[in-house]
Amino acid sequence: MHERKEHININLVADLCLVHFMAYGGYSYLDEKYSPARNDIIMLIWARGRERIEKIAEAIAAESSIGTWTKLKTLNKEVWKLRARVFRIDKIAENAGFIYIAYPLEHFEIENVLQLSASVFGNLFGLKELYEMRILDITFPRRFQSKFEGPLHGMEGLRKYVGTLKSRRPHVGTIVKPKVGLNPKQFAKVAYESYMGGIDFVKDDENLVDQKFCRFKQRVNEMLKIIDRVEKRTGRKVLYSPNITARLCDMMDRIDYLHDHGWVMAMIDVYIIGFGALQDVIDELKRRKMFIHAHRAGYGALERGNYGISFGIFEKFYRLFGVDELHVGTGVGKMEGSPVHVRFLRDIIYEQKIKGMYYMGKLDYEWNKKIKTVFPVASGGLNAGLCDGVAAVHGRDVIMQAGGGVHGHPGGTRAGAKSMLQAAEAISKGIPLPKYAKTHKELKAALKRWGYLDPSKVRSQMKFTHRNKESLNRLVEKTGIKGINIINFGF
C-alpha cells in the first residue's frame, strides 16, 4: 500500500510540472505554411514524449531559438523574426513524430559553431517531457558554408602524395597492434614490416598518445627513420599519422614538433576533442600544410539508441572545418552500421549532392563546390577477405584499414600487409578476390584464415533498401526511431 501511494505522488508531481509546459511561453512556433528560405538552417528531429507532439515541437523550437517558459515583456517584433519555425510534423502517434524546424541564419554567429551547437543541441535533451529524441540531420545553406574553407588537401591531395591518382586503387592502411604497450622501436618495427608489405598508411590507435612506455617524440623519431628507409628502398611515398590528441596547448606543441622535424601528417580524435579546440587544431595543421587524419572515437555514444545526434551531422562539421580523411565505418566489419547507412555516411564527405536516394530521417543536401572531398576510411574488424564487400559499399575511393587483419595474418605482419595490397589491386582490376588469390599466396592465406564475403550479398542488401525505399518509409512512419534503428543498425 505504501509503494502504491508513493507511485501516485510521483505522478502528481509530474502532472504539476506540465502545467507551464502546456503553453510553452505563450507563443506558437508552429507555421505549416512557412516555406524555408534559401539561407535557413534546417533540422530534422525524431521526438516522443508525454505531451502531444505539437507541444513537444514547440518546446524544442522555443528552447533552441528565442523562447523561454513564460511570456516576456521584452519580446518585440524584431526578436520574433529570429524564432525557429516548425514547418512540418510527420506524426506517427499523438505524442511522437518527425519534426522539421527552420532557423534563420541571422540567429547565429555564423563562424561560431559552439554558439550554433549550444542553440540547436543545447538544452533540448534536458527537457523532462521527452522520452526519446534523436537529431537526425541538419542542412547548412551556402552562405553558411562560405565561411569555411573545407579540406586543404582532401582525397585528391592524398592520392597525389601517395601516387595513386592514375590507378585509383583503394588505399590500404593499418593500425599498429597491440593498441598500446609496444615501445617506440617495437612500434616502428611493426610499421616497417607493414610498409614493406605494401601498406600506404600507418596510424596510431586512438588510445595511444604519450604514455611512458611509448613517448610521442621518441615514437615519431623512430617512425621518421623507418619511413626514410622504406621510401629509399621502395621508391614509394608512405604516410604515418601520429595521434596528437590532448589539451589544446599540448596539441599545438606536438604540431610544432612534427613540423620542425619535416613531417606531413597528424591524427586527431575529432569527436573527443570537441568543436572549439578542434577548429583551432585543424586551422593550425592546415597552416602548416599537413594532412589531417580524423578518428571518430566516441561517436557511438550519440549515434546509437533513442537519444542522441546522428554522426552524419558531425561529419558535415568535420568536412567544413577541413579534415582530409575520416572514419565512416565499413558496413561489413565489427562496428555498427548497415551497408546502406555506412554508404550514406560516406556520401556526406564524398559527394557534392545527397538527394533522394535514402529513406526517411535524412535530408537532401548540397555542398559548395570549393569544399573538397574527404577520403573515406573503412576500419574496424577488416581483413582481406572483406575487401570486396568494402568496395561494394564505398567503391574504389576508400582507405581500407586493417589492424588485426594485417598483424594476425598466418604469415605475420608483412604477409598481412601484402594480402591487403593484393586485395586492393584485385579490386582496381575488377577481379574477384578468390580468383586473384589463386596466384597470390598472401591473399590466399588470408581468405583461408578468415573466409571471404561475397560482395553480391552486400550489393543485394543495398539494392533491396533502395528498391524498397517507400516500404521502408512506411515502416519508419509507423515505428519512428525503432524503424530507423532496424534499417541502420539491425536492432
Catalytic residues, which ones? 177, 295
Instruction: Tell me 26's DSSP state.
Output: G
Distance CA 393, CA 372 (A): 21
Sort strands 41-49 and 96-103 into parallel, antiparallel or unpaired. Answer: antiparallel
141 — phi, psi (to 5°)? -70, 165
Q: Dihedral through CA 255, CA 260, CA 263, CA 264, nearest 10? A: 60
Which residue, among 293, 271, 391, has the nearest Cα to 343 in the 3D structure? 391
SS3 395: coil
Mention every residue, 6+ apart, whose C-beta is less than 8 A from residue 467.
none
Q: Where are the alpha helices (DSSP H) in 410-468?
A: 413-429, 433-437, 441-450, 455-467
Which residue, among 282, 376, 272, 273, has the nearest Cα to 327 in the 3D structure? 376
| Residue labelled with grid coordinates 574504389 | 396
Distance CA 215, CA 264 (A): 19
- Asked if 209 contacts 268 with a C-beta cutoff of 8 angstroms, the reply is no
**Integer angstrom CA distances of residue 281 from 149, 252, 460, 486, 487:** 14, 7, 41, 37, 36
Q: In terms of C-beta density within 10 A (0-12 exposed, 13-18 middle, 19 or more buried), how is residue 77 classed? A: exposed
Distance CA 43, CA 64 (A): 11
Dihedral sign, Cα of residue 37, residue 310, residue 248, residue 265: negative
Dihedral sign, Cα of residue 4, residue 7, residue 13, residue 14: negative
- Asked if 458 contacts 342 with a C-beta cutoff of 8 angstroms, the reply is no
Distance CA 43, CA 102 (A): 7
Which residue, among 154, 159, 191, 162, has the nearest Cα to 175 in the 3D structure? 191
Tally Cβ neighbours within 10 Å of residue 13: 9
Could you please report the per-residue DSSP string of 85-138?
Answer: EEEEEEEEETTEEEEEEEE-GGGS-TT-HHHHHIIIIITGGG-TTEEEEEEEEE
